[in-house]
Homo-oligomer: A and B are copies of this chain.
Amino acid sequence: VLLTQMGWGDLGAFGEPSKETPHLDQMASEGMLFLDFYTANPLCSPSRAALLTGRLPVRNGFYTTNAHARNAYTPQDIVGGIPDSELLLPELLKKAGYTNKIIGKWHLGHRPQFHPLKHGFDEWFGSPNCHFGPFDNRALPNIPLYRDWEMIGRYYEDFKIDLKTGEANLTQIYLQEALDFISKQQASQQPFFLYWAIDATHAPVYASKQFLGTSQRGLYGDAVREIDDSIGKILKHLQKLGISENTFVFFTSDNGAALISAPKQGGSNGPFLCGKQTTFEGGMREPAIAWWPGHIPAGGVSHQLGNVMDLFTTSLSLAGLQPPSDRQIDGIDLLPAILQGKLIDRPIFYYRGNEMMAVRVGLYKAHYWTWSNSWEEYSKGIDFCPGQNISRVTTHTQEEHTTLPLLFHLGRDPGEKYPLSFTSEEYQRVMERISVVVQQHKATMVPGEPQLNVCDKAVM
């Protein structure tokens, strides 16, 4: 699994006008492009927890109840993290003999009990958190990097990021880690799960020297080019080692492009509304490509509604394992969609915190709540929908539409600009169908213990 923070519109294959992702575009032309693929949350930590557990954040605990419909993640002073009761993908794969490695950002808690090697991973190279900073080194230390159990340095101090030039060679380090791990596994003929979760496109954006200034898109584009180049090298390495036909590769993103960082450090969500942090399409619809030469028909395109949680179930399926039966799993097995072109009927739920903001069923999306961000944030220049303003939709107060949800047809209106008329026959017919889906979902929903409620500087 290759995971970044890129927007749907950041790849040439998805219509980025500079078309600077030749390797990802080639990956798509050799594999399958998913046009309707989603994350489970418009923010990093919950999205990654969902990917590794196959469960919505509201079930696995990666949310807060401190306020209604609030996004939450794992800052340095967070007390919580991934509960032991959660079964992570590497824990299960280990039983089938897989060696599991995470390279890059973990984001599921930084206290010792949440360490990736306590949750199924055999190896780790990366950080528990994003490369924010630099901080002072007393109240707020710089984010550490680990090799397995050992803390080997800190961002900015030992792993340089030049905030003026944007230069950092971290993606190259992460690439080399991936190539080495793959070589080692191939040499020992051991099956492996590699979770390559790099963060060059997350602000503060960086790229290696040889990529700086190479993009039409500025520093963000330089970072995209380096990631694209690295993914090309990983795929080529698999082919060179002769294991590409035994290796299922999936590329996607943990949330939409952070438009708040635009134009210098933000990406593109193509024709979609708003970005990261929001439950509009720009916040949660992700670029996605499956690649498995000899198995996936080259140049395939799928309209299967997919979700990062499906990578949990699909990976288990590839390993010949069943998902756990003692808990609700939200991810589905995508293999029938990928290998046989089937379309599996399933809804997509858009959450903030423990509130279901919206749901997609087929081509229709119903908003039960709308919120971009608060007036308070907005007045400070924090804008998740820059240049976009849709009455009753991009609201700066939490607007409830639970009695009459705002309904959009994402085929005719991918930008969520034109709510269907409440009095139309189409609205009535579709909402009847969607209401059943939502009722079923809510009736069986048992929220997990919220993990992201408490921060305490003492845990840093």
A263, A303, A390: residue with the most chain B Cβ atoms closer than 10 Å: A263
A262, A387, A410: residue with the most chain B Cβ atoms closer than 10 Å: A387
Which of A139-147, A174-182, A232-240, A411-419 contacts its partner? A411-419
A232-251: CB near B (< 8 Å → 1, else 0) gives 00000000000000000000
A218-B411, A387-B390 known; A262+B15 contact, CB < 8 A: no
Chain B residues with CB under 8 Å of A33's CB are: 19
A394 CA to B33 CA, complexed, in Å: 35
- Would B15 and A15 count as touching, CB distance under 8 A? yes
Chain B residues with CB under 8 Å of A122's CB are: none
- Would B271 and A411 count as touching, CB distance under 8 A? no
A388-B388, A411-B215, A411-B216 known; A16+B19 contact, CB < 8 A: no
State which residues 387-446 of A face B: CB under 8 Å: 387-390, 409-415, 417-418
Say if the beta carbon of A18 comes within 8 Å of chain B: yes
Chain B residues with CB under 8 Å of A18's CB are: 35, 303, 411
Query: Smallest CB-CB separation from A386: which chain B residue?
Result: B417
A15, A36, A264, A301: residue with the most chain B Cβ atoms closer than 10 Å: A15
> How many A residues touch the partner, as a band?
35 or more
- Would A216 and B389 count as touching, CB distance under 8 A? no
Chain B residues with CB under 8 Å of A386's CB are: 417
Q: A268 touches which one: B19, B218, B262, B271 (CB < 8 A)? A: B271
- Would A16 and B17 count as touching, CB distance under 8 A? no
Report the minimum CB–CB distance from A347 to chain B (whole Å): 17
Q: A389 touches which one: B217, B389, B413 (CB < 8 A)? A: B389
A7-31: CB near B (< 8 Å → 1, else 0) gives 0110010111111000000000000
- Would B264 and A412 count as touching, CB distance under 8 A? yes
Say if the beta carbon of A454 comes within 8 Å of chain B: no
Tell me how many chains of this kind the complex includes. Answer: 2
> What is the interface of chain A mostly: helix, strand, loop, or mixed?
loop
A410 CA to B410 CA, complexed, in Å: 27
Chain B residues with CB under 8 Å of A418's CB are: 262-263
A35-B19, A215-B411 known; A417+B263 contact, CB < 8 A: yes
Chain B residues with CB under 8 Å of A411's CB are: 18, 215-218, 221
Chain B residues with CB under 8 Å of A414's CB are: 17, 268
Chain B residues with CB under 8 Å of A173's CB are: none
Query: Smallest CB-CB separation from A385: which chain B residue?
Result: B387
- Would A271 and B17 count as touching, CB distance under 8 A? yes
A14 CA to B12 CA, complexed, in Å: 8
Say if the beta carbon of A455 comes within 8 Å of chain B: no
Query: Smallest CB-CB separation from A389: which chain B residue?
Result: B389
Report the minimum CB–CB distance from A278 to chain B (whole Å): 14
Report the minimum CB–CB distance from A155 to chain B (whole Å): 25
Report the minimum CB–CB distance from A288 to chain B (whole Å): 12
A217-B412, A263-B413, A411-B218 known; A271+B387 contact, CB < 8 A: no
CB within 8 Å of B: which residues of A?
8-9, 12, 14-19, 33, 35-36, 215-218, 220-221, 262-264, 268, 270-271, 273, 301, 303, 363, 386-390, 409-415, 417-418
6 contacts between A and B (CB under 8 A): A9-B15, A12-B301, A17-B36, A216-B411, A217-B411, A218-B411
Q: A19-B35, A216-B411 are in contact. List 18 more A-B contacts (CB 8 A).
A: A9-B15, A12-B301, A15-B16, A17-B414, A19-B301, A215-B411, A216-B303, A216-B363, A216-B412, A217-B411, A218-B412, A262-B418, A263-B413, A263-B418, A387-B389, A387-B415, A388-B388, A389-B389
